[in-house]
Amino acid sequence: MRPTDHRRRERGTQVLELALVLPLLVFLVFVVIEGAAAVRIQQVINNAAREAAHLASLEQMAYYPPDTPDANKIAAIEAAATTYACNNGVLLRDSGGATTCPVATRTTCSSTNINVNQNVSMGTIPETGAQIDGSEVDITCNYKFMFVPNLPYVNYSTSQITLGGTAKFRNQY
């Protein structure tokens, strides 16, 4: 047996192994990319909720009496959330269905729900028993995955996930 016979019999096995493993590696790369995009969008939504809750907690956004919300102030708080998300590459649709964004966005939420509550109990002060009021903004975004291939016999309702962010701030008024 010559030493070259062994190499001749195994010729082409590396190409075959690459052909078997490469689709799995490409799939894993797409899963990592899509997962990273979902984490980034989740962070942007959390930050948008935080920015809107901070705005809602300011005195100029307070409405009197507290039980009658002002639609203009609520719209301004929702606009703060959508503007923050838009400036960071995520297009949220507000309650009016507006989709304008001056910044080019890669990500669009197919539906968005923004809830603003400026009369949330955040607990009591132990020494006095006084109630602490706060503002809460809750954002829900339905995000559709972009790298899911169009394959037959695949249920694409699973390619959409719901991302959300909630933030509370103590009212400063």
Give the whole-angstrom CA distance, residue 25 versus residue 28: 5
Please choose, from the candidates 94, 88, 97, 92, the residue with its C-alpha nearest in 3D space to the C-alpha of residue 75: 94
Residue 128 lies in a domain: yes
- Provide the pLDDT for residue 148: 55
Percent of the chain clearing pLDDT 70 (strictly above): 69
Using a pLDDT cut of 90, give the percent of the chain over it.
3
Judged by DSSP in three states, 146 sits in: coil
Question: Residue 82: pLDDT above 80?
Answer: yes
Look at the block and give the residue holding tokens 């919300």: 69
Query: Considering all CA atoms of the chain, what is the largest pairwise distance in Å, rounded to the nearest integer?
Result: 97
pLDDT at 104: 57
**pLDDT at position 152, please?**
59
- In Å, what is the CA distance from 98 to each residue of 10, 118, 134? 62, 23, 28
Q: Does residue 4 lie in a domain region?
A: no
| Residue 126, domain extent | 13-170
99 in a structural domain: yes
Q: Which helix (H) or strand (E) holds 36?
A: helix 13-57
Q: Is 104 exposed, middle or buried (0-12, 13-18, 19+ CB in 10 A)?
A: exposed
Flag whether 77 is in a domain.
yes
Residue pair 34/146 in contact by the 8 Å Cβ criterion? yes
The total number of structural domains in the chain stands at 1
- 24 occurs within a structural domain: yes
Kindly tell me if the per-residue pLDDT of 112 is higher than 80: no
117 domain-assigned: yes
User: Is residue 1 situated within a structural domain?
Assistant: no
pLDDT digits (tens, 9 = 90+) for 4-63: 666 667 778 888 899 999 999 988 888 788 788 888 888 988 898 888 888 888 877 777
pLDDT tens string 128-153: 888 877 878 887 777 666 555 555 55
106 pLDDT above the threshold of 80: no
